[in-house]
Structure 1
Amino acid sequence: MVVVNSSRNVEPRIYHDGKKVLHVEKRVLVGPHNGAPNFSMRKFTVGKGGCSPYHTHPWEHEVYVLSGQGEVRFAGGSQPVAPGDFALVPPNDEHQFVNTGDGVFEFLCMVPLKGEDG
């Protein structure tokens, strides 16, 4: 069955520990809850001055930037990103997403279902 919805209808999970994770909202748009058999699509909104943790995991993910200005940090460097840019994060590569702009930084992130924690 085809599923069509709006990200505005998905309740966000808020992540902010004041140290490693700052001002991050995650909305799981597509996943097991609506019948996806293989992948999860998540929308992340990172507030001004916010960031994801610098971390690694055993699955790849693909990222597509929707709005704002950000930076992808990884072992050996970093790369600025803007709307329309995309990134592939291979399995086990350390990485972090940082909002470097004055507004929100939003991106889609797709992972296999085993990479979705809810």
Structure 2
Amino acid sequence: MIIGKSLEIKPQKFDNKEIKGVEKRVLIGKNLGAPNFVMRLFTVAPGGHSPKHSHDWEHEVYILSGTATVVTPDGDRIAETGSFVYVPGNVVHQFRNDSKEALKFICVIPEYAEE
């Protein structure tokens, strides 16, 4: 068993045309030898966003703090603190922070997906 602290993991920072104001920390994954899933913590700055994209694997997302605008094929949806979001494989999606406070969420994906 392993117990860790998220702030002890150095974040990857993204700030370009496709991804703006995003920090990603891989909490559990290949780094700990997890055989099935990868758990990541994302922090999105106000005005920031993930890329608008799709892929074969699903996401399970839990909003820890802040408010996410979730871009879906059916239009934008709001996910606030305490909300969960299930994104099936091959569905175009994006997480945007249109608020004035940081957005933090946990995202779990299968181990074969990119961490």
For normalisation by structure 2, the TM-score amounts to: 0.97
Aligned to 2:66: 68
Structure 2, unmatched stretches of 5+, are none
CA RMSD of aligned residues (A): 0.8
Letter in 1 for 2:89: P
Query: In structure 2, what is the Cα distance between the partners aligned to 1:33 and 1:53?
Result: 24
Cα deviation per residue 1:69-98 (whole Å; 9 max; x = unaligned)? 111101121110111000000000000000
Cα deviation per residue 1:35-60 (whole Å; 9 max; x = unaligned)? 21100000000001000010001000
Q: CA deviation at 1:115?
A: 1.4
Query: In structure 1, what is the Cα distance between the partners aligned to 2:23 and 2:91?
Result: 22
Equivalent residues in 2 for 1:19-38, closer than 5 Å: 19-38=17-36
Query: In structure 2, what is the Cα distance between the partners aligned to 1:38 and 1:116?
Result: 13
Is 1:3 aligned to residue 2 of structure 2?
yes
Query: In structure 2, what is the Cα distance between the partners aligned to 1:70 and 1:62?
Result: 14
Aligned to 2:98: 100
Structure 1, unmatched stretches of 5+, are none
Give me the identity figure in percent. 43
Query: In structure 1, what is the Cα distance between the partners aligned to 2:34 and 2:18?
Result: 30
Cα deviation per residue 1:7-63 (whole Å; 9 max; x = unaligned)? 01111000111x221100000000011121100000000001000010001000100
Aligned to 1:47: 45
Aligned length: 115
Is 1:90 aligned to residue 88 of structure 2?
yes
Match of 1:111 among 106, 109, 112: 109
